[in-house]
């Protein structure tokens, strides 16, 4: 499976499913620079175990579904890695731009730097 197919699916919907130790979990994300990016922890979405998997550069199953009818578009394995938020301002900005209903949009990235983990999911092809 090609990265182009995964990219197309990831851009068509802003949510995906992650195969976490606790089971499949719904998460919002953005596609940026050849990978899926998402944020977990703090006041953001709770994705138990993802930060630990990413800290060890572990693998995770990702399921992209159709925005129109919810049907599975593609299922693949990705390598999860923690993003150094200070070293990747464009990825953090892309996430912040897509974050809906943030209680304090102006302070969003500062809160993420203090309390959340930004994770990059690189598709294995």
Q: What is the CATH number of the domain that holds 38?
A: 2.30.110.10
pLDDT value at position 95?
96
The structure tokens listed for 55 are: 């800290």
Write out the residue range of the structural domain in which residue 56 sits.
Answer: 3-123
User: How far apart, in whole angstroms, are the C-alpha atoms of residue 6 and residue 29?
Assistant: 13
pLDDT of residue 87: 96
What total number of domains does the chain contain? 1
pLDDT digits (tens, 9 = 90+) for 66-102: 777 878 889 999 999 999 999 999 999 999 999 988 8
Q: How far is Cα 117 from Cα 47, in angstroms, rounded to an integer? A: 10
Residue 59: per-residue pLDDT: 97
* 93 Cβ neighbours under 8 A, 6+ residues apart: 109
* Cβ 60 vs Cβ 42: under 8 Å: no
Work out whether strand 72-82 and strand 30-32 pair parallel, antiparallel, or are unpaired.
unpaired
Tens-place pLDDT, residues 12-69:
888 999 999 999 999 999 999 999 999 999 999 999 999 999 999 999 999 998 777 8
CA distance 80 to 20: 12
Q: Is the pTM of this model over 0.85?
A: yes
pLDDT of residue 19: 97
3-state DSSP helix/strand/coil % of the chain, to nearest 5: 30, 35, 35
Average pLDDT for 109-115: 95
């Amino acid at each position: 499976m090609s990265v182009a197919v995964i990219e197309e699916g990831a851009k068509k919907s802003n949510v995906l499913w992650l195969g976490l130790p606790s089971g499949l979990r719904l998460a919002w994300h953005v596609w940026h620079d050849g990978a899926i990016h998402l944020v977990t922890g703090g006041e953001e979405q709770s994705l138990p175990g993802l930060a630990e998997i990413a800290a060890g550069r572990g693998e995770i199953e990702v399921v992209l579904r159709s925005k129109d009818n919810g049907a599975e578009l593609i299922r693949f394995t990705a390598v999860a890695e923690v993003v150094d938020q200070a070293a990747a301002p464009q990825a953090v900005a892309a996430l912040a731009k897509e974050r809906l209903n943030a209680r304090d949009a102006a302070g969003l990235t500062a809160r993420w730097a203090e309390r959340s983990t930004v994770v990059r999911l690189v598709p294995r092809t």
